[in-house]
Amino acid sequence: MQVCSQRGVIGLGLTRKGCPAPVKPIRPARRAINVVACSADKQDTRIFRRTVADSAFWERHRTEDRYTKNLLSMIQSRIIMNLYRPLSWVLSVAVVVGLYETARDQGTLDPNIFPEFLLANPQPQMLTSFAVSLLLSARTSQSYDRWWEARKVWGGILNRVRDVTTQCAVFFPEDQQLLRQACGRWTIAFTRALHAHLQDNVDVKGHLRDVLSASEMEMLLNSQHRVVKSLSVLAEVIKQAPMNPLQQQMMMTNVQFFYDALGMCERIYRTPMPLVYTRHTSRFLMIWLTTLPFGLWTQFHWATIPICLLVGSLLLGIDEIGVQIEEPFGVLPLDAICTRAELDARQVLNESGLASEYAETLVIGEQKHSNGLNGAKQPWEVATKVGASR
């Protein structure tokens, strides 16, 4: 078989003359492009939901004018903006129903030819409204449970990072500074690797440039599973450190927790709520909102349009919140948690010598009374006696 090459591309589809037939470029469907663009916009808005609370945040959160501010900012809500397409459909149906019924009433459309589609009795919508509320409440409740579970997992990771680095500083001998620092580095690398494992567009190399050496960075980036690699290296570092078996077991317990945390995060990330539930909720809600103008027009007339738009915004907003927090790692402030873990780990390891010297001076001072207090009572001893006298 003759193989022809044009413009550097080798093709095997031959014409009669042995030359490859021209291949028409595959054009991506416009609908697919729009869906991807819409999904990208939604993904971008998730960044703004990664809230890290502090005292100023809670003070603003409890203000009395929060109701007015939230109501006035409803149009600017990212949840509402994400609902542009379904709300446009609800609005369009309400407008079409209004124009159609107005034209029939005014005689523009012959009532004998064009039938009336209004619901004479809104009882069907009233009977199914409880099902809408049940589906939405169950949806948001399950999604919140997933979000809170993910947050608890990452809270445990932060605590165990502090625990591991403290154990490195205390259990590792003073002459094993290389192992001690390696333990801290790979603990930090684990958090950053897990962060990148759960969120897109995370620059692992940039975050770890000042943490890992060039050879360590290459070893991590070339591994098939970076999170597992960081934990396996951390376990080997702990294994090589000269300490008693009990101390080693305590540190390996924390490594085991990191593995468990990885498994829990992957379970949440890779297992969404049953798709049949999500799809049925969306279909049920859209059908219910589509039929809403037919039941309201007789009583509210042109006020049906803003009523349908408002009701649609509220109900679709509840469903959208459930969808957004169903995958919790996109809305959790993982970067802030990893940064906090890195800062705490660096502080523990860099100041371990100062803490050790301070503890030694306390022992020496207890023996020789040379701690500079000249026998004076410690502040907590005085406070204890004052509290006891009360």
pLDDT of residue 68: 84
Q: Where in the chain are the domains?
A: 147-272+345-353
pLDDT of residue 55: 79
Residue 349 and residue 168 in contact, taking contact as beta carbons nearer than 8 Å: yes
Amino acid of residue 322: G
* Cβ neighbours for 119, distance < 8 A, ≥ 6 positions apart: 125, 291, 294, 295, 298
CA gap 180, 163 in Å, rounded: 14
Return the residue matching tokens 């291949």: 23
230 CA to centre of own chain? 22
3-state SS class at 317: helix
Residue 80 and residue 317 in contact, taking contact as beta carbons nearer than 8 Å: yes
pLDDT of residue 67: 81
pLDDT of residue 48: 54
Amino acid of residue 308: C
Residue 348 and residue 165 in contact, taking contact as beta carbons nearer than 8 Å: yes
Torsion sign across C-alpha atoms 164, 165, 171, 175? positive
Residue 4 backbone dihedrals phi, psi, to 5 degrees? -105, 155
Strand partners, 9: 6
CA gap 143, 127 in Å, rounded: 26
* Angle, CA 339 vertex, CA 336 and CA 341 arms, to 5°: 110
pLDDT of residue 137: 93
Return the residue matching tokens 């006891």: 388
CA gap 146, 270 in Å, rounded: 12
pLDDT of residue 75: 80
Torsion sign across C-alpha atoms 366, 368, 374, 375? positive
CA gap 386, 389 in Å, rounded: 5
Average confidence (pLDDT) per 10 residues, the chain, 390 residues:
38 38 40 42 56 76 81 83 92 94 86 81 84 92 95 96 93 89 94 94 90 93 94 94 91 96 96 93 94 90 94 94 92 93 91 68 60 49 44
Amino acid of residue 86: P
Residue 202, token pair as written in the block: 């995370």
CA gap 195, 161 in Å, rounded: 14
pLDDT of residue 366: 57
Q: Which helix (H) or strand (E) holds 9?
A: strand 9-11
pLDDT of residue 317: 93
Q: Which helix (H) or strand (E) holds 10?
A: strand 9-11
